[in-house]
Structure 1
Amino acid sequence: MERMEDLQVKDLINKDATTWDATMIRGIFCDIGADRILRIPLPRVNCHDRLLWTETMNGYYSVKTRYRLAVQHIRPSLAMEESMMRRQIWRMHIPPKYRESLWRACNGIFPSRDSLLQRGMVVLENCVSCTERETILHALLFCRNASQCWETYGHVLEGDGLPEILKSLLHGPQSIFEEACSIMWHISKARNFWNWEQKRLPPTVVVNNSMRETYKIGRELWLNLDKMIGKAYW
């Protein structure tokens, strides 16, 4: 008999490759462990083994699922917070286009160059505005153009990742949260404008457009609310 440390799963299977070697298994493992092993079904047809990644539906390995698995093991509370934040986005009182953009960013499907590369698309990995790798956080927060927009806005964002930043914003004034969501969307819009039109919008223009739209949305909300109150009195 081989040494215990040299045994493989195939050594616990009979030569017909369709049944477990119950005698060997019960001689090695405790009763509970042996019962669990013997309940594992074996294929009726002899076939070659292949590696499967259980965290994806198709069995293929992906960096995205590996990252989520690592976060769950290393920082389970953070993984739970990220999951709750992704669900909470759809309940936020902000325009639908802001919600969709934030949801895409928090779920890793915002079309940054890094995300496109991970999906097999042939694109350059560097940001269009600088030489750094364009991740989602880089595109929305840390790129030279994006950071200049946040400096122009004048509010310091706190947190290491987008879910943490949104959580810190939610604990502050509602107006700051709405303005920050608007700026992120307009930064993304300016990035697309540069990508497709090769025209760069100055940070002051991006922030002014964002503030103007936020004011317009707030004004329309108050007007609609005023109409509803008026109808209620009539």
Structure 2
Amino acid sequence: MDKLIWAYTKSGIYSVKTGYFLASRLKEDQIPQQVLEPSTTALKSRVWTTKTTRKIKHFMWQSIAGCLPVKNSLVNRHCGTDRLCPRCDAAPETTNHLLFECPAALQVWSISEFPSSLGVFPCDTLYRNVDHLFWRAKEAKVPESTIARFP
């Protein structure tokens, strides 16, 4: 007759102690996953060294920290039911959508001197977009004067 046994004890009976031991061992054996997103801590720190007004620095920090009252966040906090962007009605209003993906935002970026590159900037991730503005644009040889004006 079949029966359930816990293979990690001699008796075959599960205990929290052996479950914790197994979980600890599995955690130690795992190879750390490669992080594909930039560190939000580094992005938030970099905000305060940007040469702009304190209000804009604060706005940039709130954007990265997820504190802006965009519709998607408000619905998650039970302050509304509609997630759609009020400007385009095509996608949920997230911080990334508001600043980089909305047609209105895309128009602003297109008339700015900041070069757009399909799939690189602007892209579908807020952190990668901000990372590009802070560091990757310099690596892509965007003029320093253009980078300094993005805030």
- TM-score normalized by structure 1? 0.44
Q: Which residue is 2:146 aligned to?
A: 176
Q: What is the CA–CA distance in structure 1 between the aligned matches of 2:149 and 2:132, rounded to whole Å?
A: 14
Q: Higher helix share goes to which structure?
A: 1
Partners in 2 of 1:152 and 1:27 — Cα distance?
72
Question: Is the alpha carbon distance of 1:162 and 1:124 closer, same or farther for their aligned partners in structure 2, counting shifts above 3 Å?
Answer: same
- Note if contact 2:114-2:147 (Cα within 8 Å) is conserved in structure 1: no
Aligned to 1:194: none
2:11 aligns with: 27
Whole-Å Cα distance in 1 between the matches of residues 89 and 33 of structure 2? 31
- Secondary structure of 1:149's partner? helix
RMSD: 3.2
Structure 1: distance between partners of 2:58 and 2:50: 11
Of 95, 98, 111 in structure 2, the residue corresponding to residue 136 of structure 1 is 95
CA contact (8 A) 1:89 1:102 kept: yes
> Of 69, 74, 82, which residue of structure 2 is paired with 1:124?
82
- Contact 2:88/2:102 (8 A) holds in 1: yes
Identify which of 103, 109, 129 aligns with 1:150.
109
| 1:164-202 CA-partner distances (Å, limit 9, x unpaired) | 223323324443233221xxxxxxxxxxxxxxxxxxxxx
The aligned counterpart of 2:128 is: 164
Pairwise CA distance, 1:159: 5.2
- Counterpart contact for 2:113–2:146, Cα < 8 Å: no
Deviation per CA, 1:6-38, whole angstroms, max 9, x where unpaired?
xxxxxxxxxxxxxxxxxxx66348xxx64x66x
How far is the alpha carbon of 1:114 from its aligned partner?
Answer: 0.8
- Per-residue CA deviation, residues 31-65 of structure 1 (Å, 9 max, x unaligned), is xx64x66xxxxxxxxxxxxxxxxxxxxxxxxxxxx
In structure 1, stretches of 5+ residues that fail to align are: 6-24, 38-72, 182-234
| Identical-pair percentage | 18
1:216-231 alignment to 2 at 5 Å? none
Judged with a 3 Å threshold, the aligned counterparts in structure 2 of structure 1 residues 174 and 111 are, in CA distance, closer, same or farther, namely: farther
| Structure 2: unaligned runs, 5 residues or longer | 22-31
C-alpha contact (below 8 Å) 1:169/1:176 kept by paired residues: no
TM-score of the aligned structures, taking structure 2 as reference length: 0.64
**Structure 1 runs of 4+ with >4 Å offset:** none
Larger Rg: 1
Aligned to 1:46: none
Higher relative contact order (CA 8 A, sep 6+): 2
> d(CA) in 2 for partners of 1:114 and 1:75?
28
